[in-house]
Chain A
């Protein structure tokens, strides 16, 4: 599991996750992911296009980040999940608590709402 953090603007950070968000993958990236989402007061876009697998531990990590950001009055938006990952996100109704966009442009638009 890899994580890449880049600045989209002075108020938006993009976090690209690559690999598997299972127990092992979450264990590797969770601390860095939560720090990337909550440090600096920026909104966060999370690129899921390179995430090949997600299980309940990955869902929990995303919800944890979302909660921490809500407390800081910043937004978390996910975008570009692969179809099998999208199936898990849909089943767990993750979209009820975290906006999920089809692509980066749509994700940025959701941040700016």
Chain B
């Protein structure tokens, strides 16, 4: 049995975050701590870190502009052969799955990380978005088995 398979499927990680940029690093370190027993390949860890960084910086930077600060929920689990990251916030509606891919000129001209969602698409395998009860729910799956070919 590989280290990944030895993780219990009901092992889950949950973290409440404040709407502050410094929370991204706290989330990253907590995620690494949670995933450490799985001994994932460096490439998978890179993909997890990149997805978490881009989605959280997007939520913190945009979701609550003009709105009262709120908490953001991040959860993670290893399900079958996927790392599953779930982001939940009650900020303004934003569906990154449907967001158009920026042109190179648009992204290069952006003052704040114009490539973020595009990078998530590149490094993740599947994304699901839903607006439910005034909350953005975003699930992102990173398949372990695609690492060898990506």
Hey, which bits of chain A sit against chain B, CB under 8 A? 22-24, 27, 53, 55-57, 59-60, 63, 84, 88, 91-93, 96-97
Q: Give chain B nearest CB distance to A24 CB in angstroms.
A: 4
Main secondary structure of the interface of B (DSSP, over half): helix
Does A84 lie within 8 Å of B46, measured CB to CB? Answer: yes
Q: Kindly state the separation between the CA atoms of A91 and B114 in the bound complex, as whole angstroms.
A: 12
Q: Which of B72-80, B115-123, B134-142 contacts A (4 or more CB under 8 A)?
A: B115-123
Does A56 lie within 8 Å of B24, measured CB to CB? Answer: no
Please name the residue on chain A nearest to B111 by beta carbon.
A60
Does B108 lie within 8 Å of A23, measured CB to CB? Answer: no
List residues of B (84-133) whose CB comes within 8 Å of A's CBs: 104, 107-108, 110-116, 118-119, 122
Point out the residue from B21, B54, B122 that lies within 8 Å of A27, measured CB to CB. B21
Main secondary structure of the interface of A (DSSP, over half): helix
Find chain A residues with CB under 8 A from B53 CB.
22-23, 55, 57
Q: Kindly state the separation between the CA atoms of A23 and B17 in the bound complex, as whole angstroms.
A: 16
Q: Give chain B nearest CB distance to A70 CB in angstroms.
A: 12
B70, CB-defined interface residue at 8 Å:
no
With most chain A CB atoms within 10 A of its CB, the pick from B107, B110, B112, B113 is B113
Q: Kindly state the separation between the CA atoms of A57 and B119 in the bound complex, as whole angstroms.
A: 11
B81, CB-defined interface residue at 8 Å:
no
Q: Kindly state the separation between the CA atoms of A31 and B88 in the bound complex, as whole angstroms.
A: 32
Q: Kindly state the separation between the CA atoms of A97 and B21 in the bound complex, as whole angstroms.
A: 28
Does A24 lie within 8 Å of B25, measured CB to CB? Answer: yes
Find chain B residues with CB under 8 A from A55 CB.
50, 53-54, 57, 113, 116, 119
Question: Can you list 6 A-B pairs with a CB-CB distance of less than 8 A?
Answer: A22-B28, A23-B21, A24-B24, A24-B25, A53-B50, A55-B113
Does A56 lie within 8 Å of B21, measured CB to CB? Answer: no
Q: Give chain B nearest CB distance to A106 CB in angstroms.
A: 23
- With A84-B43, A91-B122 in contact, is A23–B112 under 8 Å at CB? no
